[in-house]
A and B are shown apart, each in its own frame.
Chain A
């Protein structure tokens, strides 16, 4: 028996969200008294044995060429075969876009109950219950998985990475995947940007910034803090910012350590996507803006006056001139 963790890669490197999943899976394995094992599909440049420091005893790797492109059907079959062969009873994914594309198929194939959006370790005192976000972050559900094999998709930024001493045994496994039905004809990746869902700090702008020409107030601060940038829905709708930055109930749900909201009113649909952030800072000229009720720190003031001073203060703090 084992806990199997799917390690998703980005250009040859294991993603931070997958390392969180590895640490989470290792803890679940400890709860159940079994080993934690990882699975990597495709070619990675990371040293797989060193993944032992996240608590993995063994890492299974298949470097077959076709796995360098994530194909839901082929990945599902490979993971299902390995899970069966290694007697996995819990399979952990990051609840990122790759995890979502594969885990739901796997659930059907293995008849394994699935919980996506998990935010805490399972409660195994009476059955197997996993806490997940529902209503886009406005509440949590404790979901019982009633099948022998269980699949958990862990929300990014919900479980912290701890580094230990171990070294993982690396096992290659052979598989002969069928040709993919989905043919990838173009890939367009933004390089060098912090992915929004993995970011520890997010700086976000709303309609209060008046226009895209003022966005340096957001992006300059983000650059100084190594943060990702986000925006409210109307800002994406009027195309001041790209759609993939839109956070909220109908956009992306995030839970960074710090969410810095600039000129955003804090409508209920916006809050739903960001209210699990550990610290929320709000800059808004309207003292009645609903966002202040959900914030930890705030300044009631004009963003055009306040933000340049904040940026200067952060520069000083970081020793940047």
Chain B
């Protein structure tokens, strides 16, 4: 079984979010880039576990981005995976990215494609579904458990108000979240080994994005906290009822 894991880079969770050029550009200077946590902690680690268990034979990683993505891809390779493919393009909208990954997927003939639940910067949550539609295969979103049973995948996923267990034939796209696996720290052997793993660079196919970001805004600042004495918690309840009118 051949698995493709989609990897995206995002600003570190503590990065300062600021914009420039009339609020049209994210200020990337000084920002530390990490592997999108959902891609790393759940999608990639579960794929590695499947290989360790002998269920999967080959793991490829794919990212759409310019050469500045390479350190993040190497970091992912240090955790595991046999080779990485970078589609050499600036990332536009989700449709553009999904179309590039679909092309890689068609070339590679994968049985299983893992994505993270969403990226923590754009929060689109749509690459997996788009990819599945482009490839005309099933998509199971928000998976919390994944196992193989014969030729079928058994996936437990989150649905509104609970969980559902699905049995799905391969090939299949799965978006992964908490529960799939536990975060791992790359070891020295992994980091050294990652340097010699192939990182293939391919050129993008011609795709017109469907959306574009016109500008960004920051949320308005809070007016400041109103503190109530710890001796009079009932005063807080009164304020919430009479002033804020929320209870």
Contacts and interface: CB of A to CB of B under 8 A. Distances in A.
Q: Are both chains from one complex?
A: yes
Interface of A: 8, 10, 15, 70, 72-73, 76, 96-98, 100-109, 111-117, 127, 129, 131-147, 181-191, 193, 195, 201, 225, 236, 243-244, 246, 249-251, 253, 257-258, 268-269, 272, 275-276, 278-279, 281-282, 292-302, 305-307, 309-310, 312-314, 316-317
B130 A108 contact: yes
Given A108-B134, A147-B210, A225-B247, A306 B233 contact: yes
Contacts of A250: 13, 37-38, 120, 178
A196 to B, nearest CB: 10
Contact of A185 (B122, B167, B215): B167
Contacts of B228: 297-299
A58 to B, nearest CB: 25
Contact of B210 (A107, A268, A275): A107
Contacts of B37: 250
Interface in B201-239: 209-219, 222-223, 225-230, 233-234, 236-239
Contacts of B190: none
Given A109-B133, A134-B216, A278-B246, A188 B210 contact: no
A186 B145 CA distance: 13
Interface residues of B, number: 76
Contact of A115 (B11, B121, B211, B227): B211
A138 B13 CA distance: 10
Nearest to A72: B139
7 contacts: A76-B133, A108-B95, A113-B95, A131-B217, A140-B218, A281-B240, A296-B244
By CB atoms of chain A within 10 A, which of B13, B17, B93 has the most? B13
B84 interface: no
A75 B44 CA distance: 29
A243 B163 CA distance: 12
A116 B134 CA distance: 19
A317 B241 contact: yes
9 nearest CB pairs, A to B: A104-B129, A301-B230, A113-B210, A189-B162, A104-B126, A313-B234, A108-B133, A186-B165, A313-B237
B5 interface: no
Contact of A116 (B17, B125, B216): B125
A268 B14 contact: yes
From B19, B98, B154, B227, name the one whose CB has the most chain A CB atoms within 10 angstroms.
Answer: B227
A295 B129 contact: no
A237 B226 CA distance: 32
B130 to A, nearest CB: 5
A251 B179 CA distance: 12
A293 B225 contact: yes
A11 B102 CA distance: 35
A301 B227 CA distance: 11
Contacts of B211: 113-115, 143-147
B216 A142 contact: yes
Interface string B114-134: 000000111111111110111
Contacts of B229: 299
B95 to A, nearest CB: 7
B201 to A, nearest CB: 26
Contacts, number: 268
A129 B165 CA distance: 38
Contact of A107 (B95, B140, B141, B144): B95
B49 interface: no
A299 B240 CA distance: 13
Contact of A183 (B139, B168, B234): B168
Nearest to A251: B178
Contact of A104 (B38, B130, B160, B162): B130
Given A281-B240, A309-B233, A139 B98 contact: no
A305 B230 contact: yes
Contacts of B141: 72, 97, 100-101
A187 B167 CA distance: 12
A225 B138 CA distance: 41
Contacts of B70: none
- With most chain B CB atoms within 10 A of its CB, the pick from A96, A142, A257 is A142
A103 B246 CA distance: 33
A116 B210 contact: no
Given A195-B160, A276-B219, A297-B225, 15 more contacts: A72-B141, A108-B133, A113-B211, A114-B211, A127-B214, A146-B209, A186-B164, A195-B161, A201-B246, A250-B38, A281-B240, A293-B222, A299-B227, A309-B234, A313-B234
B63 interface: no
Contacts of A244: 158
Contacts of B138: 72-73, 181-182
A190 B228 CA distance: 36
A109 B95 CA distance: 11
A282 B224 CA distance: 12
A139 B217 contact: yes
Contacts of B223: 296
A189 to B, nearest CB: 3
